[in-house]
Amino acid sequence: MVPPDDTQTSANVLAAWVTDARRRTLDLIADLNDGQLLGPPLPTVNPLLWEIGHVAWFQEKWVLRHANRQPPLRPDADILYDSAAVAHDSRWSLPLPGREQTLRYMAGVLGQVLERLAKGPRPDEVYFTLLCVFHEDMHTEAFTYARQTWGYPAPDLSGCDAAPVGGDSPWGGDVPVAGGPFRLGAEPGEPFVFDNEKWAHPVQLRPFAIARAPVMQAEFAAFVGDGGYRRRELWSAAGWSWRERVAAEQPVYWRHEAGGWLRRDFDRWVPLEPHRPAVHVSWYEAEAYCRWAGRRLPTEAEWEATASWPAEGGRKRRFPWGEGGPTPDRANLDGWALGCVGVAAQAAGDSPCGCRQMTGNVWEWTADDFLPYPGFQADPYKEYSAPWFGDHKVLRGGCWATRGRLLRNTWRNFYRPDRRDVFAGFRTCALSS
């Protein structure tokens, strides 16, 4: 559902995106009972009853209250749903409205936003409407991995487009990238970018070789089988400390039985698919694997250059395959497949140098800390990037649950290096000669 760039600011497209984002939110919680909407407290997820109210509050705050100076629909909304002010651990003990009250609040906000759009949005309304769509898209991805974390059933997303298929074979080897001067980041002219993408600035890349595909589950299983989690020399000091703290002996949702490895897919255990990418891997685990394999993680600039270089008509490619938006033959996104597909799938989405699945399937860890680009200035939503600089790592490319309209080659995701609940994997680079 990604129209050409010049249509992203039309009232009809904005209304369709607002409606679609809310539909996805509701689809992801429709089958859950009241107990599941809260879920047991965990440090990596939010109670879903709080989170669905939060996405509506965020939309009300920026589109209705900030852009249009309307009074709050609920007098207690800021006290309940402001994520910058409400501590994570307290969200389970808040006096949250029940399911029906929350859904009525969400419907009221949505209705008023659609009324505003029907009148013809001003430029500031366009910006804040897009901000809220993309914010909700990020939360619906979080709802999806929260269901995996808690072991809930896979969501019913049967209304999605046709799922990508195939790719159940290896896709190995490296491709060379020549290096040279490169502009890292977004160029002015995009209809919407986040503050941490601004702006493109020159970097110099040395020649490097990068894997054509993400690390497969079979490859990661070889690392586990070779004692990778018990070999101190493969881990950084911080990584070993994390491994000991969580007592990690294999990826978080794996278990070994007589017939081999199984992985938990939402609420069921399935045999490990050897040619699908390793997923739910922390940055520390990716780092240790690289040391075991005699490889390294790509830098953020190397990743972006691989996805977008060489330029088309003097500009970097918006997506690895070019300018047109994601489709199932190019990228596994939007929940189309309800999980990862094999690393050889979607040849139509290859980057200019021949790397596959740089968009979709799994987020890919890079070597770099999440830091501001030169001249960084926070956008109106000041809590989006600035609080997280320095202690998070950058991921690129999106995963199977990411909404396609959210992405482009310059899009930066960021998580702490210990996180392994998200749909994250990695690809590797050859060590410099």
pLDDT at 432: 82
Residue 351 sits in the same domain as residue 373 = yes
CB 397 within 8 A of CB 265: no
Q: What single string gives the DSSP state of each residue in 377-397?
A: ---SSTTTTGGGTTTSEEEES
Residue 167 sits in the same domain as residue 301 = yes
Residue 250 sits in the same domain as residue 393 = yes
Q: What single string gives the DSSP state of each residue in 160-191?
A: S-PPP----S----EEEE--EEEEESPPTT-S
Domain that holds residue 283: 160-433
If pLDDT is split at 50, 70 and 90, which confidence band does 288 have?
Answer: very high
What's the rounded mean pLDDT across residues 105-115? 98
| 391-430 residues labelled b (16+ CB within 10 A) or e (exposed) | ebbbbbbbbbbbbbbbbbbbbbbbbebbbbbbbbbbbbbe
Residue 187 sits in the same domain as residue 111 = no
pLDDT of residue 40 exceeding 60: yes
Residue 94 sits in the same domain as residue 206 = no
pLDDT at 4: 32
pLDDT at 259: 86
Q: For every residue of 334-361, which 3-state class applies, written as one string? A: CCCCCCCCCCCCCHHHCCCCCCCCCCCC
pLDDT at 314: 66
pLDDT at 109: 98
pLDDT at 200: 97
Residue 123 sits in the same domain as residue 165 = no
What's the rounded mean pLDDT across residues 407-417? 98
Q: Is residue 48 part of a domain?
A: yes
What's the rounded mean pLDDT across residues 227-255? 98
If pLDDT is split at 50, 70 and 90, which confidence band does 1 have?
Answer: very low
If pLDDT is split at 50, 70 and 90, which confidence band does 3 have?
Answer: very low
What's the rounded mean pLDDT across residues 393-418? 98
If pLDDT is split at 50, 70 and 90, which confidence band does 164 have?
Answer: low
pLDDT at 320: 97
Residue 280 sits in the same domain as residue 341 = yes
Q: Using alpha carbons only, give the angle 121, 124, 127 rounded to the nearest 5 degrees.
A: 90
Q: Is residue 213 part of a domain?
A: yes
pTM of the model: 0.96
pLDDT at 6: 42
Amino acid making up residue 181: P
Q: Is residue 103 part of a domain?
A: yes
pLDDT at 310: 73
Q: Is residue 155 part of a domain?
A: no
Q: Is residue 199 part of a domain?
A: yes
Tell which residue, 140, 187, 181, has the closest CA to residue 333.
Answer: 140
If pLDDT is split at 50, 70 and 90, which confidence band does 294 have?
Answer: very high
CATH assignment at residue 123:
1.20.120.450
Residue 223 sits in the same domain as residue 138 = no
> Of 102, 124, 150, which closes a domain?
150
Tell which residue, 250, 240, 180, has the closest CA to residue 208.
Answer: 180
CATH assignment at residue 331:
3.90.1580.10
Residue 331 sits in the same domain as residue 199 = yes
CB 354 within 8 A of CB 361: no
| Distance in angstroms (rounded) separating the CA atoms of residues 276 and 216 | 5
What's the rounded mean pLDDT across residues 112-132? 96
pLDDT at 159: 57
Q: Is residue 91 part of a domain?
A: yes
Residue 344: CB partners within 8 Å, gap ≥ 6?
Answer: 166, 167, 168, 169, 170, 171, 213, 275, 356
pLDDT of residue 287 exceeding 80: yes
pLDDT of residue 39 exceeding 60: yes
How is residue 417 written in tokens?
């290096």
Q: Is residue 412 part of a domain?
A: yes
pLDDT of residue 80 exceeding 70: yes
pLDDT of residue 2 exceeding 50: no
Least confident of 164-178, 329-343, 371-385: 164-178
Q: Is residue 383 part of a domain?
A: yes
> Of 150, 182, 206, which closes a domain?
150
Residue 241 sits in the same domain as residue 310 = yes
pLDDT at 160: 54
pLDDT at 161: 52
> Of 150, 173, 193, which closes a domain?
150
Could you give the number of structural domains in the chain? 2
**Proportion of the chain above pLDDT 90, given as a percent:** 90
Residue 107 sits in the same domain as residue 215 = no
Residue 286 sits in the same domain as residue 342 = yes
